[in-house]
A and B are shown apart, each in its own frame.
Chain A
Amino acid sequence: MPKIRVRVDEDLCIGAASCVTIAPATFQMNQENKANVLDHGTEPGGPTYERWMEVTEEEYETILLGAQSCPTLAVFIYNEEGTLLFPEM
């Protein structure tokens, strides 16, 4: 299973919650109306805007779709080598 790092830029996040709608196992709104990153619905180590996780291809596609749906491109996905997979800069 590929290992990825998912990060939400809290300065860019405006609480549109499109990532939460599409990928609820990976994103969840917090009290500040910004998206926290979950690992398969759980928060080991507590709430955070950034975490590593192992995902199946199918799960990755869902997370990518969630990131693509963000109107402020606040979700960043990196592979194990640290290369930015999304968004394309």
Chain B
Amino acid sequence: MRYVIIGGGIAGTTAAEELRKLDNTAEITLVSEEQHAIYSRVLLPHYIKGIIPRERVFLKKETWYDDQRIEWLRGEIVTTLDVKNKFVRISTGREIEYDKLLIATGSTPRTVLDDPRGVSYLRSLDDADHFLQLLNERDTNWKAGIYGGGFIACEYLNLFAHAGMPIELAIRGDHFWSNVLTEEAGELVNQHLVQQGVILHKQAAFEQVLGEDVLTGFQTSVGTHVCQLLGIGIGIEPDMGFLRDTGINMGRGILANEFLETNVSDVYTAGDVAEYYDVVAMQQLNTGNWLNSMTQGRVAAKNMYGEKTVFELVSSYAANALGLDIVFVGDTSKQHAERVEVMGSLKEKSITQLFIRENRCIGGVMIGRNQDRKEVTDAIRERRLFQSK
């Protein structure tokens, strides 16, 4: 059996590992755009802060691929997929035939137009190395800018605060996660950040980065923001451009059923690029999350091998914004919910939102209310309403 996996991130690598466990004689090829062995993106902030040395971000040694007899094509991308003749062509021109194919290409951060020195994204190890280099060059009078109101913006807040830099943050809407938080919960996060000394600009549409070769600031609809370092966190886009004209159905991501099968036979998907049928949320979902990707890699491998396995997981995402714990569990889209119930309040400085559909809890957000996390997760998993103790 010939398995080809496109994408060397946690979904693709876990799938390769699982396939080797299941099938000792299979040919396994892993095409990875990155030059590095698998590492944890989640550890990059720890590395930048100096909590761990650089070598600790890696999850496997470079020799692991050979040990597992996985053909590791690093620094390569797939340029063409031919689902009729069942082969992929990679950047070197080489064609690789497959019996079963997994697409786990992940996602790419949305970028702003200009890129003078000082603009940062936080997706890859190379991004982290670059950011650390910029931080090490800083003067005591340097200011930090952040544009974006999501999880990456939280990471930048913590990193800049750790570096002792004053922070100016601009967001497009009135608060963080405008598709998730209620006005009150959004205000809770805003007030916390302002109390922590962040200069916050709301309703600020991004216009441009300032500075020719070296960053001097950025311009939004509310004004000019002077900074020498700018962290951008405006979301990610699934990486699936190369699939145009293949007949594979795509929505926000690559569409798949609960077995992570696409509409094209012998083609599977997993990780950030997948828009899979979530059996708990009863909805197609696209979830950019570590455990989700790892578990999907494992489930996809089982299905590719022939062990029919349903993907079922209540995903969660935990962040901390300058000391405020924020946890997302399950499907936290206001759009997907029939109603949102709220416990706690702005006054109490802690809020839990419950997302209800068809008389059951499908998602939850806890801000400063870690105590609700287990009960909310249990309610979602057991497909029932949340009952407060």
Interface residues of A (CB under 8 A from B): 11-12, 14-18, 21, 28-33, 69, 71-73, 88
Which A-B residue pairs are the 9 nearest by beta carbons? A71-B42, A15-B318, A18-B291, A71-B290, A33-B370, A33-B325, A71-B40, A72-B43, A17-B316
Given contacts A15-B318, A33-B370, A72-B43, whether A21 and B52 have CB atoms under 8 Å apart is no
Which of A14, A18, A88 has its CB near the most chain B CB atoms (within 10 A)? A18
User: Of the candidates A21, A28, A29, A72, which one forms a contact with B42 in the assembled complex, judged by CB atoms under 8 Å apart?
Assistant: A72
Residue numbers in A under 8 Å from B40 (CB-CB): 71-73
Give the complex CA separation of A4 and B40 in angstroms.
26
User: Of the candidates A11, A28, A32, A71, which one forms a contact with B291 in the assembled complex, judged by CB atoms under 8 Å apart?
Assistant: A71
Taken residue by residue from 313 to 327, chain B's Cβ proximity to chain A (1 for < 8 Å, 0 otherwise) reads as 110111010000101
Residue numbers in B under 8 Å from A21 (CB-CB): 291, 313-314, 316
Give the complex CA separation of A17 and B377 in angstroms.
11
Taken residue by residue from 51 to 86, chain B's Cβ proximity to chain A (1 for < 8 Å, 0 otherwise) reads as 110001001010000000000000000000000000
Interface residues of B (CB under 8 A from A): 40-43, 46, 51-52, 56, 59, 61, 290-291, 294-295, 313-314, 316-318, 320, 325, 327, 370-371, 373-374, 377
Residue numbers in A under 8 Å from B314 (CB-CB): 21
Q: Is the CB of A16 within 8 A of B318?
A: yes
Q: Is the CB of B294 within 8 A of A69?
A: yes
- Who on chain B is nearest to A19 by CB? B291
Residue numbers in B under 8 Å from A14 (CB-CB): 42, 318, 320
Q: Is the CB of A12 within 8 A of B51?
A: yes
Q: Is the CB of B51 within 8 A of A11?
A: yes
Give the complex CA separation of A12 and B320 in angstroms.
13
Residue numbers in A under 8 Å from B373 (CB-CB): 17, 29, 33
Residue numbers in B under 8 Å from A32 (CB-CB): 370
Kindly provide the distance from the CB of A52 to the nearest chain B CB, expressed in whole angstroms.
25
Number of A-B residue pairs, CB cutoff 8 Å, is 61
- Who on chain B is nearest to A30 by CB? B370
User: Of the candidates B56, B61, B325, which one forms a contact with A15 in the assembled complex, judged by CB atoms under 8 Å apart?
Assistant: B325
Q: Is the CB of A73 within 8 A of B316?
A: no
- Who on chain B is nearest to A71 by CB? B42
Give the complex CA separation of A30 and B290 in angstroms.
21
Q: Is the CB of B43 within 8 A of A71?
A: yes
Residue numbers in A under 8 Å from B374 (CB-CB): 28-29
Give the complex CA separation of A15 and B325 in angstroms.
9
Q: Is the CB of A73 within 8 A of B43?
A: yes
> What are 23 A-to-B residue pairs whose CB atoms are below 8 Å?
A14-B42, A15-B325, A16-B42, A16-B318, A18-B291, A18-B294, A21-B291, A21-B314, A29-B373, A29-B374, A30-B370, A31-B371, A32-B370, A33-B325, A33-B327, A33-B373, A69-B291, A71-B290, A72-B40, A72-B42, A73-B43, A73-B56, A88-B61
Excluding A18-B291, A71-B41, 6 further A-B contacts by CB distance (< 8 Å) are A16-B291, A18-B290, A32-B370, A33-B370, A33-B373, A72-B42
- Who on chain A is nearest to B318 by CB? A15
User: Of the candidates A12, A33, A71, which one forms a contact with B52 in the assembled complex, judged by CB atoms under 8 Å apart?
Assistant: A12
Residue numbers in A under 8 Å from B317 (CB-CB): 16
- Who on chain A is nearest to B292 by CB? A18
Kindly provide the distance from the CB of B60 to the nearest chain A CB, expressed in whole angstroms.
9
Residue numbers in A under 8 Å from B59 (CB-CB): 73
Residue numbers in B under 8 Å from A73 (CB-CB): 40, 43, 56, 59
Residue numbers in B under 8 Å from A30 (CB-CB): 370
Given contacts A71-B291, A72-B46, A73-B59, whether A16 and B316 have CB atoms under 8 Å apart is yes
Kindly provide the distance from the CB of B120 to the nearest chain A CB, expressed in whole angstroms.
20
Residue numbers in A under 8 Å from B51 (CB-CB): 11-12
Residue numbers in B under 8 Å from A17 (CB-CB): 316, 318, 373, 377
Give the complex CA separation of A15 and B386 in angstroms.
21
Give the complex CA separation of A6 and B295 in angstroms.
22
Kindly provide the distance from the CB of B62 to the nearest chain A CB, expressed in whole angstroms.
13
Residue numbers in B under 8 Å from A33 (CB-CB): 318, 320, 325, 327, 370, 373
- Who on chain B is nearest to A11 by CB? B51
